[in-house]
Structures are given as C-alpha cells and as structure tokens.
Structure 1
Amino acid sequence: MSTKEANRPWMLSLALEDKNTAARLYMPFVKGGGVFVECNKPYELGDPVFVLLSVGEEGKKYPINGKVVWVCGPNARGDKPQGIGIQFPRDDSGESARLAIEQMVGKMQASMKKTATL
C-alpha cells in the first residue's frame, strides 16, 4: 500500500437527511448519479472510494463502491468546500441511492442557484 493510499480513510460516510442537504450535495449531471463528499484527504480522478450513504430522515443506508469524478481542492475559487464528487456504481445499490435522492429532492434542485459543486 502506498503512503498516499494509507492516508485515505477506508470508508467515507455521508448523511442526506433533508431535502436541502440532498439537493446541495447530489450530482445529477454525473452519469448514473453521484454525490459530493466534503473531505480534506487527497484523491485523484478515477480513484475507487467506498461511501456509506444514508438518505432521508429514516437514514436508509446505501453502500456505494464508487469512483472519484470531481476533485475540489483547498484553494477552490469562491466558497466551494474541499472534497470529492463520487459517481454511483451501476449496480443495485447505486441505482437505489440515485432514485431515493431524486425522489427526496424532486424538482427543488432545478431551482437552486448554488450547490457544493457547480
């Protein structure tokens, strides 16, 4: 294991408990859906990452074996948080998570002016 890999957490977690948080962190423009996870560890595009994602007030859990498709470093322009965008896998867990988030957010995201990524 390289030093860089040893510095990464073995698992990230993200809770999308309410509509506003879900709309801010969901990435509908990523093929198959994705989420933004704030973190300060270095990742590169294409890196595999495991995220335990919980959605809704009930906190239904989705184990996501995704990959990094967006990196926002510590010196990002504006007030964007540091972190990574993770693409959902094309499996039951990824598809279920995408559907759960889209049902929770509904049309709200289209009217938002600011998200964590764009």
Structure 2
Amino acid sequence: MITKRSGGSKRNMLNLKITDNNMLYEHYLPFLKRGGLFIKTTKTYNLGDEIFIFLILPHEEKQTPVTGHVAWINPQGAHGRRPAGIGVHLSDKYQAIRKKIETTLATLPNADKPTYTM
C-alpha cells in the first residue's frame, strides 16, 4: 500500500550524493526487483511511503530527481549496528539509472560480492 505522509512533500525529499564507486556499492540494493538505494536518515517513514530523491552519482555533478517507495526500514539502534535509514525501491521509470548503476558496479574488482556492506 502506498501512503502519503502528512507534513507536506518536503518531508519525503531526500538528497543522496554518492561520491565514489565504493559508496555506490554500499548504497545500492540489487535484490529489489527494480533496484533500490539505501539512504541513511533518522527520519521516521512507513513502508510504502513515496520518496523523492535528488541523486548525484559518482563522476556526475548534476542532480537527478528519482522517485521510489520505502521497501525497507532500519530504525535507530538496529541489530548488528546497521545505520538508521531506509531502502527505497526505485520506480519503473528509472530503469536507465538502475542500468547505469549496475554497469558501473560490474566493473569493480569486488563485483562478485554482495552489496550493502555498511
């Protein structure tokens, strides 16, 4: 179920600047059908919340607006010392970004290891 949160749309706008390929490796969630991104945040979200992300990928200066829905939540104090944040499942129309990310990750020396190693 997709939900809209009170407090206006600004509450669901997040910035994610990925500075290098290792950071991209750590934040990409390939196990989500359309790909996804983990975003560290202490804000409270619910599964299904629509999220607007201003994404900057490595070697790019321009922000790319991306939308998705919360598919995973790591609350503060999560087991295993995982950082607080959310996993955002990318919307269908951003598959070109997913392909770009996966192409970049495929060139890394550790491409055969699982992502989300934070």
TM-score after normalising by structure 2:
0.82
Give yes or no for contact 1:62–1:97 (8 Å, CA) kept in 2. Answer: no
The AA in structure 1 aligned to 2:39 is: V
Matching residue of 1:33: 35
Give yes or no for contact 1:65–1:88 (8 Å, CA) kept in 2. Answer: yes
After TM superposition, the structure 1 = structure 2 runs for residues 73-84 of structure 1, keeping only pairs within 5 Å, are: 73-84=75-86
Quote the Cα distance in structure 2 between the aligned partners of 1:73 and 1:27.
17
Corresponding pairs, count: 111
Give yes or no for contact 2:30–2:115 (8 Å, CA) kept in 1. Answer: no
Give yes or no for contact 1:10–1:50 (8 Å, CA) kept in 2. Answer: yes
Give yes or no for contact 1:55–1:100 (8 Å, CA) kept in 2. Answer: no
Give yes or no for contact 2:27–2:116 (8 Å, CA) kept in 1. Answer: no
Matching residue of 2:7: 6
The AA in structure 1 aligned to 2:49 is: D
Matching residue of 1:96: 96
| C-alpha RMSD of the superposition | 2.1
Quote the Cα distance in structure 2 between the aligned partners of 1:52 and 1:23.
18
Quote the Cα distance in structure 1 between the aligned partners of 2:49 and 2:115.
29
Runs of 5+ consecutive residues of structure 1 not aligned to the other structure:
none
Quote the sequence identity (%). Answer: 32
Task: Please list every run of at least 4 consecutive aligned residues from structure 1 whose deviation after the TM superposition is greater than 3 angstroms.
Answer: none
Quote the Cα distance in structure 2 between the aligned partners of 1:61 and 1:109.
25
Correspondent of 2:88 among 86, 89, 94: 86
SS state at 1:111 partner = coil
Runs of 5+ consecutive residues of structure 2 not aligned to the other structure:
none
TM-score after normalising by structure 1:
0.82
